[in-house]
Structure 1
């Protein structure tokens, strides 16, 4: 098991190096430092002096990969890639093009992102599994049919519709919750109720239908028929047998998604005015701040790889038959 984890970690480091190199090439192939300076200063009619001054202040006046004017190891170290991309491998995110510390921004904005993501994740998982188990309990009845139709309808509606409709109904019309915003402490609960509710509702259709399929597949197996033949109550069959043995595919999506909770939600945070990492990424994209965008892409890749490793490890806890040699 330990050898497997170490091997996956090595693969993860190699993938992160590849992601770092690929994003650097893509970003600087699309926009050269001169283009970035024009976008930051504003307009195409910018003097060369202003462009060079902007590049010098932010370290973009150096060559990309190889500095022919330097000596010794400075050929490789006195470059944009070494100063901007290599520190990412030790999670030193550096500074944005506006001169702000990206690491400090990530630490500050991580709390609002988790305040939104954790309740949405936990409550959404509980609601989806409970709803799917209810449909399996009433399999073949009108309740089951109506539940499947509801899942298809919810799955067919865009997530933006839930956000706009929720803000119009609960914030503007009924005025039960604030339209948008965020404050520190427990007072933030009233700002998070609507985003959490929208997040649960938007994911209910797809996840509940997927879980229902898993539970129905388990319900048709021999051990379930044997349990029912012994006279066990249906609730015990559902929770002790069907749910427990369907945990492996559920863990694939849930455990691997736990590290990504730190990244926040791009859409929800932007629409509800929550100063998390999701809105931070959107603002950086709109401002053409590629240092922030590349840092967030690298952080997201690292968290995703960590989630996959955690999912593989969780397999052995859910099913003792799974062993990694």
Structure 2
């Protein structure tokens, strides 16, 4: 077999083992640790007959290995059944919520990463200057401030006083949602810049002082070409690693933003499921996050070989 086939089989085995482990952990938490959910759904005054009837209706009286098999199968078929609270298909709810979440998180992800990478790369020319120290200090201050402060300040000053953006709400449609996602996008870009700038600055500075950069400068290449053609190309591996780590959070990682701005994305779906003890939806969200993380890691490993020929499969 070719190295590519062997690598694919190894990664496939790794992905399957992680998914099996994640589903087993989810099953143990919700079926062993939590206990009987019918008592939570029906309340403390529920009769044993009502609890037994609901348990049969939800399929909780089946043998544990059958319940686990259904949970494991859902990780590959994405057929998570129906929500206990809304009675709607969970997959359809996730599809609707993911589109709403991506309208906020995807622009902020692209803008934030593009901005912080460009600034970190450009500021390598000014290491140790007052501007470099001021920017690093500003990022430290930004990361020490709670996300709630950004949200409240943005809503009070930009939303209420200046009336530049609506502070809450959402309208479906590509152009209808734009006024409602600008303020959350600005906040997410600021947060991303504050948390990521020092990391990107460090990896850029590690490359700037390598021998190949000195050679490129000695040949008389412009500083812009040295930075954006040579240095940037050689820091793609840590950049891809960061992207792979952050991609699953585009769907499930911005619960606070969606909650405060009234955006009906997946974050709000998960919050509502937790408040209603909707275990199927919570389990589905956990499994979806695990599957996305595994797929992103596999794709990231393949991208490593494209950006760095020294990496072999």
TM-score range for the pair, normalised by the shorter chain length:
over 0.9
Alignment pair present for 1:242 and 2:245 = no
* Pair 86,232 (structure 1): closer, same or farther in 2 beyond 3 Å: closer
Q: Deviations over 1:8-65 (max 9, x none)?
A: 12210121111111111111223222xx2232223x2222232223223222233433
Alpha-carbon separation, structure 2, partners of 1:121 and 1:174 = 26
Contact 2:245-2:293 at 8 Å conserved across structures: yes
Alpha-carbon separation, structure 1, partners of 2:17 and 2:191 = 35
* Count of residues paired in the alignment: 308
Contact 1:17-1:89 at 8 Å conserved across structures: no
* Pair 269,320 (structure 1): closer, same or farther in 2 beyond 3 Å: same
Alignment-derived partner of residue 122 in structure 1: 110
Q: Deviations over 1:141-199 (max 9, x none)?
A: 11111111111111222222212221222112221111111111111000000111111
Per-residue deviation, 1:84: 4.6
Write the mapping of 1:265-304 to structure 2, written as runs, cut at 5 A. Answer: 265-304=254-293
Per-residue deviation, 1:85: 4.7
Write the mapping of 1:1-325 to structure 2, written as runs, cut at 5 A. Answer: 1-33=4-36, 36-42=37-43, 44-65=44-65, 77=66, 80-98=67-85, 99-185=87-173, 186-263=175-252, 265-324=254-313
Greater shift, 54-63 or 286-295, is seen at 54-63
Contact 1:136-1:216 at 8 Å conserved across structures: yes
Alpha-carbon separation, structure 1, partners of 2:83 and 2:72 = 13
SS at match of 2:64: coil
Q: CA RMSD in A?
A: 1.8
SS at match of 2:176: helix
Alpha-carbon separation, structure 1, partners of 2:88 and 2:69 = 19
Gaps of 5+ in 1: 66-76
Alpha-carbon separation, structure 1, partners of 2:126 and 2:107 = 28
The runs of 4+ residues in structure 1 deviating greater than 6 Å are: none
Per-residue deviation, 1:134: 3.1
Per-residue deviation, 1:114: 1.3
* Pair 206,181 (structure 1): closer, same or farther in 2 beyond 3 Å: same
Alpha-carbon separation, structure 1, partners of 2:299 and 2:277 = 34
Alpha-carbon separation, structure 1, partners of 2:74 and 2:209 = 53
* Pair 307,84 (structure 1): closer, same or farther in 2 beyond 3 Å: closer
Greater shift, 235-244 or 195-204, is seen at 235-244
**TM-score with structure 1 setting the length:** 0.89
**TM-score with structure 2 setting the length:** 0.92
* Pair 286,54 (structure 1): closer, same or farther in 2 beyond 3 Å: same
Alpha-carbon separation, structure 2, partners of 1:86 and 1:133 = 45
Per-residue deviation, 1:276: 1.2
Indicate the structure whose relative CO is greater, using CA pairs within 8 Å and at least 6 residues apart.
2
Contact 2:251-2:267 at 8 Å conserved across structures: no
Per-residue deviation, 1:83: 4.2
* Pair 151,260 (structure 1): closer, same or farther in 2 beyond 3 Å: closer
